[in-house]
């Protein structure tokens, strides 16, 4: 008995889904039918032919919508910025107004000052002669310290102790003077312009029984002195050196003494300047003592110079 023939089918696979579609029965010619049936009896049954068509799965390409996010300023932030701009502008405007007002006031004040100065200058032109000495009275700031070399006997904190030391030294026929410097009382025995001359004087005084030593010193001017003492202070070291050499037993050139006397005579001391007048008198007396050749004359000259330093430094 002939087996019923299976209808051939077509299998179509789309993606993962498999669909089957039955084939339509093909019309087979009669002359072919016999041979097919005999062959079917002799040959074992074969699986029906299946054709698998694989189609790529349709993938829908979705266009990605790219959305650009633009930060938007809120209305409140815009208002805040506008508010700050108004505040800053107001502050700048107020500052300009205040600055202009202050500048105007300063200009007005400066414009009035020169008139007052001119009036004062006019008044000074017609001032009396009593005001002139005040302008010519510079204090000791215009005077320089006297740099010299001294023979020192001692330094004391009290004037009484220094005076006692002076009495002991003068008792040995050696000149001495108490000088006030920087709050201390110093006993000086001699003065010269150079340290070598002061050392020679000190050696001579040590032979007379005084314990002394020579050193450099700077004598500050007194606040009571006027500028007229400046010329006298500049002459002091020259006179002191000549007197020191004579006190040390050396000769002094007479021409040098004459030049010093002439230079000292040309110094003009204003009337009423008692201190400058006294300083000039002491320098003149010292030069006069140097005219003699006796040792006592040299000591007397040193006494005058030490008195000069006592007045200059007080």
pLDDT in tens, 205-242: 998 888 898 999 999 898 889 888 999 999 999 999 99
For residue 116, pLDDT over 50 is answered with: no
The per-residue pLDDT for 57 is 53
For residue 150, pLDDT over 90 is answered with: yes
CA distance 235 to 50: 146
For residue 149, pLDDT over 90 is answered with: yes
pLDDT in tens, 65-114: 444 444 555 566 677 787 888 888 888 888 888 877 777 666 655 544 43
CA distance 198 to 244: 7
The per-residue pLDDT for 96 is 82
Domain parsing of the chain, residue ranges: 9-55, 141-313
Rounded mean pLDDT of 117-144? Answer: 45
The per-residue pLDDT for 133 is 43
For residue 177, pLDDT over 90 is answered with: yes
CA distance 254 to 310: 28
Neighbours of 53 (CB within 10 A): 10
CA distance 105 to 259: 65
The per-residue pLDDT for 90 is 83
pLDDT in tens, 231-280: 999 999 999 999 999 998 888 888 999 999 999 999 999 988 999 999 99
For residue 192, pLDDT over 80 is answered with: yes
For residue 302, pLDDT over 60 is answered with: yes
CA distance 156 to 184: 6
CA distance 186 to 177: 8
Neighbours of 167 (CB within 10 A): 10
* Pairwise pLDDT comparison (119 vs 88), residue with the higher score: 88
3-state SS, the chain, equals CCCCCCCCEEEEEECCEEEEEECCCCCCCHHHHHHHHHHHHHCCCCCCCCCEEEECCCCCCCCCCCCCCCCCCCHHHHHHHHHHHHHHHHHHHHHHHHHHHHHHHHHHHHHHHHHHHHHHHHHHHCCCHHHHHHHCCCCHHHCCCEEEEEEEEEEECCHHHHHHHHHHHHCCCCCCEEEEECCEEEEEEEEECCHHHHHHHHHHHHHCCCCCEEEEEEECCCCCCCCCHHHHHHHHHHHHHHHHHHHCCCCCCHHHHHHHHHHHHCCCCCCCCHHHHHHHHHHHHHHHHCCCCCHHHHHHHHHHHHHHHHHHHC
The per-residue pLDDT for 6 is 53
Q: Are strands 146-156 and 184-192 parallel, antiparallel or unpaired?
A: antiparallel
- pTM over 0.85? The answer is no
The per-residue pLDDT for 54 is 55
> May I ask the CATH class of domain 141-313?
alpha beta
Length of the chain: 314
Longest CA–CA span in the chain (Å) reads: 189
CA distance 314 to 192: 20
Please give the backbone phi and psi of residue 5, each rounded to the nearest 5 degrees, phi first: -80, 140
pLDDT in tens, 4-56: 555 555 555 555 555 544 444 444 444 444 444 444 444 444 444 454 555 55
């Amino acid at each position: 008995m002939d087996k019923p023939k299976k209808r051939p089918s077509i299998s179509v696979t789309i993606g993962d889904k498999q669909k089957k579609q039955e084939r339509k029965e093909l019309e087979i010619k009669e002359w072919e039918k016999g041979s097919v049936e005999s062959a079917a009896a002799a040959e074992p049954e074969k699986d029906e032919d299946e054709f698998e068509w694989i189609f790529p799965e349709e993938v829908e390409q979705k266009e990605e919508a790219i959305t650009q996010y633009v930060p938007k300023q809120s209305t409140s932030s815009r208002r805040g910025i506008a508010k700050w701009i108004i505040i800053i502008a107001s502050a700048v405007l107020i500052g300009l107004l205040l600055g202009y007002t202050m500048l105007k006031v300063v200009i007005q004040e400066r414009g009035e000052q020169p008139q007052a100065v001119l009036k004062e200058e006019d008044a000074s032109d017609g001032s009396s002669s009593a005001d002139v000495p005040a302008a010519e009275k510079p204090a000791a700031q215009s005077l320089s310290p006297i740099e010299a070399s001294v023979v020192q006997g001692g330094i004391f904190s009290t004037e009484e102790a220094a005076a006692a030391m002076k009495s002991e030294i003068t008792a040995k026929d050696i000149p001495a003077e108490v000088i006030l410097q920087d709050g201390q009382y110093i006993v000086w025995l001699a003065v010269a312009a150079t340290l070598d001359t002061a050392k020679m004087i000190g050696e001579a005084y040590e032979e007379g029984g005084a314990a002394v030593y020579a050193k450099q010193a700077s004598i500050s001017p007194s606040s009571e002195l006027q500028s007229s003492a400046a010329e006298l202070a500049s002459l002091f070291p020259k006179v002191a050196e000549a007197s020191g050499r004579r006190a040390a037993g050396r000769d002094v050139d007479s021409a040098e003494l004459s030049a010093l006397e002439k230079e000292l005579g040309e110094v003009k001391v204003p009337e009423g300047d008692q201190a400058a007048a006294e300083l000039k008198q002491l320098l003149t007396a010292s030069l006069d003592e140097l005219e003699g050749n006796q040792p006592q004359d040299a000591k007397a000259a040193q006494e005058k110079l030490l008195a000069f330093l006592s007045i200059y430094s007080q």
